[in-house]
Chains A and B, each alone.
Chain A
Amino acid sequence: MLQVSIYRYNPETDSAPYMQEFQVDTQGRDVMVLDVLHMVKEQDNGMAYRRSCREGVCGSDGMNMNGKNGLACITPLSEVVKDGKLTLRPLPGLPVIRDLVVDMGLFYKQYERIQPYLQNDTPAPAIERLQSPEDRDKLDGLYECILCACCSTSCPSFWWNPDKFVGPAGLLQSYRFLADSRDTATRDRLAELEDPFSVFRCRGIMNCVAVCPKGLNPTRAIGKIRDMLLANAT
């Protein structure tokens, strides 16, 4: 039997959050954490969590498993369970709506701030804007982000200043457009980032890199943004 400890909070009935214990029989199989949540939901169908694609593509089920953020659907028990115990908490630093469901509003607000869309002020060609294979390669390791928020919610700089620091997820996407040969808004984008918070609140502790379920490296992207800012301003 696997002992599962889950963060419970229903603002309509609970005055404060609490941890609830469940016993789950996985029949010795190394299932994913999300499967365990389904089993828990059979015991208590009031337990709330987000899930959709259940295969690490949609980014809905980001949560804190035994102290480390990740996607429940692609995290096998063998990777997180210690001494037969599994502790599940919502993503840290964001307001809890209910149980494992958090309000991602601030996270999306920071994403919106970096203008995550291609901007090009030259006349649109008849068919499409072409890009050389080499320029396209520069977007690898950037475009794959699924916005699950595992990285930003594991970042202390984002915890302390979620309204000012863009966070690793937003900055990875920011660099995705700064690095795009088809985007012409580079200077305007950089001008929005040179203050002491937006980019420079990153202290390079690389929590984001350690937790990214897609194996991406926001710290490297942030370093490249710094290099571009420096090149632009000196």
Chain B
Amino acid sequence: MVTNITNFGRSGLSDWLVQRVSAVILALYTVFIVLYLLLNPGLDYATWSGLFAQTWMRIFSLLAFVSLAAHAWVGLWTVTTDYLKPTGLRVGAQTAIILAIFVFLVWGIQILWGA
């Protein structure tokens, strides 16, 4: 047993499951957005804004944002533990990554529900 405190779920098993489930959600969201843009070639602000005004789209988007946050945390945490060997540098990078993820998540929520 190797103890870790800065990974997403405190357990390799939960990180692994989160990574896979979030990947599926992100894939679905990406496919949806790409298809929507392809099927609406002359997209204007009103249509785009109308799409994001609907509750289901906001839930879907928030789900995608949360998935992205978790996915990035798990993935980048793994990269830092592979390649950043000095402890200070690694903890610093992990802290910066986690804080940035938090900022982007709150910013995303504000964009979805603001305006």
Given contacts A195-B1, A196-B2, contact A161 B15 (CB under 8 A): no
Please indicate the chain B residues that have their CB under 8 angstroms from the CB of A39 in the complex. none
Instruction: Tell me the nearest residue of chain A to B74, going by C-beta.
Output: A196
Q: Is B113 an interface residue (CB 8 A)?
A: no
A residues apposed to B, CB below 8 Å: 157, 160-161, 164, 191-201, 226, 229-230, 233
Interface residue SS majority, chain B: helix
Please state if A200 and B16 are interface contacts (CB–CB under 8 Å).
yes
Please state if A161 and B1 are interface contacts (CB–CB under 8 Å).
no
Please state if B12 and A199 are interface contacts (CB–CB under 8 Å).
yes
Additional A-B contacts beyond A197-B4, A197-B81 (11; CB < 8 A): A160-B82, A161-B81, A194-B11, A194-B12, A195-B2, A195-B4, A196-B11, A196-B12, A200-B16, A201-B12, A233-B13
Chain A proximity of B77: nearest CB distance (Å): 8
Q: Is B24 an interface residue (CB 8 A)?
A: no
Please state if A198 and B82 are interface contacts (CB–CB under 8 Å).
no
Given contacts A194-B11, A196-B7, A196-B12, contact A230 B17 (CB under 8 A): yes
Please indicate the chain A residues that have their CB under 8 angstroms from the CB of B78 in the complex. 196, 201
Please state if B83 and A226 are interface contacts (CB–CB under 8 Å).
no
Please state if A198 and B12 are interface contacts (CB–CB under 8 Å).
yes
B1-31 CB mask vs A (1 if < 8 Å, else 0) is 1111001000111011100000000000000
Chain B proximity of A165: nearest CB distance (Å): 9
Chain A proximity of B49: nearest CB distance (Å): 40
